Amino acid sequence: MTLKAKKPEAVEKRLKLFLYGPAGVGKTTASIQFKEAYVIDMENGTDFYSKTLNKMGSVVLRTNNPDEVKDEIKALLTEKHPYKTLIIDPITQYYNALQEKWNRIFEKYARSEKEREIQDFGPRYWGKVKSEYKSLQRMLAQLDMNVIVTSHQKPLYGENMVVLGTTYDSAKGDDYFFDLIFQLNKVGEKRIAKTIKERAELGENKFPAEFEWSYSNFLKYFGAEAIEREAKPVHMATDAQVAEMNRLLGIVKLEDGTIEKWLTKAGVNELSEMTSEQIQKCLDYLNKKLEVVKV
């Protein structure tokens, strides 16, 4: 078998950060310092900042509908627009709204009154919630924008409910997804960010252990060119490509697990979530297989 690994090349990463802190510390105020932002406001945190937002060239979508959030991010991913930073404030409310959405669906089709009352929907319910949340994360990873996701803060408990400290109030695993995690605190009139996590080459961290949160400091530490460049749309799989894939899959026989391998390699759950380039490679493979069969 021919080995497929290649020498790694440097990749210019967009700013993808997760910010949490206590109520009233100013997570919203800190986030909207970024210029030309598209703010998805899930708990009306921007109501008092219209002047600041207009000055920064930013816009706001106020919603608590997880489907609307996903549709907006897909549009930001695939369409040309003037915005450079996406802010979801807070992701805690998105995750809660996602659970409520699937609660309503499972309640509607619950097999018994008891199951409906105790909402004991089991692994299928959590599978749906997690799958949809992962789908959102995949779009955030592909999005050619800076991403700032805020979260509420909650106590971190150990054995016997002993409080060990504080942590974020969001989906389990968010700390694995984001390249940067900051905890925000207020010291006097300043907002101080504590670096909880930073993915970087060994010995080449961009951010200090603690720093004053400001847009100018992010330009300084992360790089103005990376933060302020225009977003480029990603071309996703078209309806025609997906239809052609399904047609060919009904004709060409593949080894068991082939489609699952394609989805895993692309980091998606469905063919429609692939990029146009990814699905086209699959189409080319199927067409070659079809030609062999015809011969």
Q: Write phi, then psi, for 245 (nearest 5 degrees).
A: -60, -50
pLDDT category of residue 9 using cuts at 50, 70 and 90: confident
Q: pTM for the full model?
A: 0.85
What's the rounded mean pLDDT across residues 156-180? Answer: 85
Question: Which residues lie across from 192 on neighbouring strands?
Answer: 185, 212
Nearest to 86 by CA among 151, 134, 127, 144: 144
Alpha carbons 76 and 153: distance in angstroms, whole number? 28
Q: Write phi, then psi, for 166 (nearest 5 degrees).
A: -130, 160
- Express each pLDDT in 246-269 by its tens digit: 999 988 888 888 989 998 888 788
- Express each pLDDT in 48-69 by its tens digit: 999 999 999 999 999 999 999 9
Nearest to 211 by CA among 229, 227, 198, 225: 198
| Per-residue tokens: 161 | 């409910």
Question: Which residues lie across from 146 on neighbouring strands?
Answer: 85
Q: What pLDDT sits at residue 119?
A: 57
Residues listed for the chain? 295
> Coil, strand or helix: which one is 180?
strand
pLDDT category of residue 161 using cuts at 50, 70 and 90: confident
How many beta carbons lie within 10 A of that of residue 276, not counting itself?
13
Domains and CATH numbers, the chain: 16-228 (3.40.50), 239-294 (no CATH)
Q: What pLDDT sits at residue 226?
A: 92
